[in-house]
Amino acid sequence: MSVAADAGLQVLFSSDSVVSVRLSAALLIAAFLFLALPFCFRKNIVDKHGHPLPPGPLLRYAFLRKYPERALQAWSKTFGPLFSVFMGNQLFLVISDARIARELLVNNGAIFSSRRMYFMKNQTILRGRAITASPYNDTWRQHRRIASQLLTPKAIQGYAAEMDYEAHILIRSLFRESQMGSLPLNPAHIAGRYALNNMLSISFATRTDSTSDPLVERALALATEFMDLTGPWSNIIDFITPLQWIPTPMRTRGRKLHDGIIEVYGAMILRVKARMSAGEDVPDCLVKTLIETQEQERLDWEDMCMLSAVFTLGGVHSTSGVIQWFLALISSHPEIQARAHEELDRVVGRDFWPTAADEHRLPYIRAIIKEVERAHAPFWMATPHYSTEDFVYNGMYIPKNTALVLNCYDIHHNEEKYPDPYTFNPDRYLGDNLSCAESSKLPNAMDRDHWAFGAGRRICPGVHVAERELWLAISRLLWSFDIKSLPDEPISLEEYEGESGRTPLPFRIQVIPRHDRVQAILEAEDEITLVK
């Protein structure tokens, strides 16, 4: 290379450096100003009567990635049970008190029941559908009405036999895979298939007949990816708009997930359609309802796919998460397990295992389930609600388009309602004879059992199904097994996986059959394969 050319390149190179240094400096200043702006302007955000925003940290945050509930808890200690925080351009209000949650989300549900259009969850993956992602409008009402028909206590009687059967298979899979309790195992995939099969049966009148079925892997992978990509605080791309314009790996993952949902669930709808066209008497299920009412309800293909996916996306990791948290907790609390075994032996005996009808006779087992849901709700932040009008609460201004987070972590650790809240203590629920669905309707917020299923008009419509699934699984796990942790493998109850739905880090336990009737009952039924 000639000297002149070399010198030219050096000039070019050094002028590039100057440009890039200037650009970086400009970006840094812009980022600093962006994050610090609320520091200057927060006090100026008032309504026409001068009501200020609820107090909160001054800086704007780009995202909260790991264990956000801990940051929220620290802030609520400093700023109180209703505080505000800016995430990028979005104002969030965090509710850490049951009474405020009831006042805003339930009593003023007409104003606080929409959803923020998150870039990742609502715009990219679900495209504003699937009930959970719909704004509070007629489409949401229509989709929720269609889905809820399948989830009422009366409707689930129609799936009672299938749910009972899946609980049988859950216990049998643990029994067999652990070789009658002699080998330790990680229960995650078995709990996952249990929850998945229940959702497949309600949604598609089908099931998977082994954990190695490729559908189990695919559907669970989609549900896991959904939980990882849709945390209410965790994605910087949700809060910094320019990042949404460029092809980041995050955006690519969101689009891929959307396409995966359409592909997998679309194919399953077509299978149900083919069964119906072939004249088969397909049992009642969500997709049968969708196919039969598609024209009348004016559902397009994307509606059909997203609606058929919604139970699996919302009802698998949540329910299997509670079962996994139960197994993690109970194996670390042998004294609680011994009391549960005593109640089961005394009330149902050892000849038969508990059924749905025994729930009211086994208050301690019910209390255990509620205590697991309180101590380890799968969604610490529920799903944020969104306001559609300006509102003033207790002299504080809540502008239209504010996202409201139900901070279940703080609410579930409130000393006044739950003395010694960090201790796993089912006794606190003895005497509570209401289902979670019934309890959510109590007029006094402090009487409600817990908030794991959310609140108000967006409360989880799957609550009745989830309660039935959890009852059958947990009462039978306790009836069948001594559940033990391994001396050299402590189970972490603090850490977890998942950005929106939380499951424990992988762990292993031993499930040792408690008596001879366990095997006899388990071998009494064969695994069935339904048409897929």
Binding site for ligand HEM (CB under 6 A): 131-132, 144, 147, 151, 310-311, 314-315, 318-319, 322, 378-379, 382-383, 385, 452-455, 458-462, 465-466
Distance separating alpha carbons of residues 532 and 527, to the nearest angstrom: 15
Smallest gap from Cβ 39 to ligand HEM, in A, equals: 31
Minimal distance, residue 68 CB to ligand HEM, in Å: 15
Rank residues 134 and 173 by Cβ distance to ligand HEM and give the closer one. Answer: 134
Element spanning 17, H or E: helix 3-41
User: Do 448 and 435 meet the contact criterion of CB atoms below 8 Å apart?
Assistant: no
DSSP secondary structure string for all residues of 353-409: ---GGGGGG-HHHHHHHHHHHHHT-S-TT---EE-SS-EEETTEEE-TT-EEEE-HH
**Min CB(113)–ligand HEM separation in Å:** 8
Q: Closer CB to ligand HEM, residue 124 or residue 178?
A: 124
Q: What angle do CA 330, 335, 336 make, to 5 degrees?
A: 50
Cβ at position 137, least distance to ligand HEM in Å: 12
- Give me the least distance between CB of 198 and ligand HEM, in Å please: 7
Could you tell me how many helices (H) and strands (E) the chain has, helices first?
19, 9
Dihedral angle, C-alpha 266, 268, 272, 277, nearest 10 °: 60
Given the complex with ligand HEM, which of 178 and 475 has the nearer CB atom? 475
Nearer to ligand HEM, 178 or 387 (CB): 387
When the beta carbons of 344 and 404 are compared against ligand HEM, the nearer one is: 404
Residue 83 φ/ψ, nearest 5 degrees: -125, 165
DSSP state letter for 510 = E
Give the separation between CA 352 and CA 354, rounded to whole angstroms.
7
For ligand HEM, the closer of residues 64 and 460 by Cβ is 460
CB of residue 142 to ligand HEM, shortest distance in Å: 12
Of the two residues 68 and 314, which places its CB atom closer to ligand HEM in the complex?
Answer: 314
Closest distance of CB 458 from ligand HEM, Å: 4
- Distance from the Cα of residue 158 to its chain's centroid: 25
Taking the complex as a whole, the smallest distance from the CB of residue 385 to ligand HEM amounts, in Å, to: 6
Q: State which residue, 327 or 348, has the beta carbon closest to ligand HEM.
A: 327
Min. distance of Cβ 28 from ligand HEM in angstroms? Answer: 38
Q: Tell me, letter by letter, the H, E, C secondary structure of 66-116.
A: CCHHHHHHHHHHHHCCEEEEEECCEEEEEECCHHHHHHHHHHCCCCCCECC
126 versus 396: smaller Cβ distance to ligand HEM:
126
Name the pairing type of β-strands 481-485 and 509-513.
antiparallel
Contact between 120 and 229 under an 8 Å Cβ cutoff? The reply is yes
* 3-class secondary structure, 509: strand
